[in-house]
Amino acid sequence: MKFKERIRELRTALGLSQRQFAEVAGLSTTAIYYYECGRRIPREKSLQKIISSFHISPKKFYNGLRLQEERQGRKIYMEAEWLRSLYVDQGFTAAQIARLRSCSKSAVLSRLREYNIERRPRFGRSGPQRIMSHPEVVQELLANRFECQEWLGLLPSTEAWVLTRRLGLLGERVHTLQELGNSLGLTRERIRQIQNSGLDRLRRLHVTAPTFVRAVAAG
């Protein structure tokens, strides 16, 4: 017998709704719902709560159950090279891969560990993160990192200051969002907004810097 059948059988015999059953067992109604429809297999701690709350004999409760088989059967399989290609080569996050595979993020992380795929540093914690906004503008700035004073002069001072340090322009080293946030007393997200605002402004401006404007238009 599967666990979902055993839990439904027990609840029906007691004449309780899922909400009532959950309250007595000290679990959430959602958990009981997932147990009964087979979308979740309980951990040992949750099983002990059910057994002790309803004073059931453990031997009788576990008799005929195939919990270990159910748990193994629910393992999410992912082909190692497919996962490596998405995560390492294409830069997908674990959350994005989970949405593609219709599974949990923890399942993706488990497969990364299983296949010995090294995790990327957590966002904003180690090293500069790649700028995703307006890549054509970023490419042009990086190609002329020592000769872009004129373009930066088109921006408000804060945006120019942030872009200079985020991209390592004019001889500056590359800074992380967190480092710039600490310098200005702002959050990482606010620095990102300033950065993207500057890039968007450069993309939209059609005055001076003709090389830049042509490069952006061509992109």
Please check whether residues 102 and 164 belong to one and the same domain. no
CATH number at residue 50: 1.10.260.40
Please check whether residues 54 and 87 belong to one and the same domain. no
Which is more confidently placed, 77 or 183? 183
The CA distance from 195 to 215, in Å, is 20
Amino acid identity, position 1: M
Kindly report, residue by residue over 48-92, the tens digit of the pLDDT: 888 888 888 877 777 776 655 544 445 566 788 888 888 888 778
Please check whether residues 46 and 89 belong to one and the same domain. no
CATH number at residue 190: 1.10.10.10
- Full residue range of the structural domain in which residue 86 is found: 80-114
The CA distance from 56 to 66, in Å, is 18
What's the N-to-C CA distance of the chain in angstroms? Answer: 61
DSSP category for residue 41:
-
pLDDT at 127: 46
Structural domains of the chain, count? 3
112-119 average pLDDT score: 85
* Residue 43 reports pLDDT greater than 80: no
Is residue 121 one of the residues assigned to a domain?
no
pTM above 0.75, yes or no: no
Is residue 127 one of the residues assigned to a domain?
no
Domain termination residue (choose one: 41, 73, 105): 73
